[in-house]
Amino acid sequence: MLLSKSCWSSAGEHSLMPTQRKVNNILIVDDDDNDRVLTKRVLQELFPVANLFTCTDGHQAIECCKEKIYDVVFMDLNMPGIGGIETIMQIRNFGYKNAIYILTSGNCDQERELCQQIDCNGYFQKTTNTQQLEKLLCELVNLSIEKL
């Protein structure tokens, strides 16, 4: 499936880019089984030929991102061990450039500010409503899958 590329600026503004890219590999990082399964199921419907990978914590996510390049990563913030913020910082520290989006059940202004500071592509609140999640994921994957 080809997607129009666009990007989130650090101010959260959305701007279109004229190129396209195929989404092959997606990583979902979430310690909550229900959230991880729901996100994976919706992504499978949206991208039936994409390879979907899952991790249950930040340590696994770091190792996965060292071993494989994902077109997009969906990261939970609040996980046992190292949380999403620290995980993203470590992933970015070894040069990982592709898109990382926060999907979290929290909705804190301080978390949003931290996400902008650590070079993630967006911060979005989770939903248990399948239709809302599908709409959110459609919007996310139509955003940039590479940072400018």
pLDDT reported for residue 93: 93
Query: Secondary structure of the chain in the HEC alphabet?
Result: CEEEEEEECCCCCEEEEEEEEECCEEEEECCCHHHHHHHHHHHHHHCCCCEEEEECCHHHHHHHHHHCCCCEEEECCCCCCCCHHHHHHHHHHCCCCEEEEEEECCCCHHHHHHHHHCCCCEEEECCCCHHHHHHHHHHHHCCCCECC
CATH code of the domain in which 78 resides:
3.40.50.2300
5: in domain:
no
14: in domain:
no
Q: Kindly give the confidence (pLDDT) of every residue in the chain, 148 residues in length, as a single tens digit, with 9 standing for 90 and above.
A: 222 223 232 333 332 222 345 678 999 999 999 989 988 988 888 788 889 999 999 999 999 999 999 988 999 988 999 999 999 999 999 999 888 988 887 766 777 777 778 888 887 777 656 666 667 666 666 653 333 2
pLDDT reported for residue 123: 79
Number of domains in the chain: 1
pLDDT reported for residue 68: 94
46: in domain:
yes
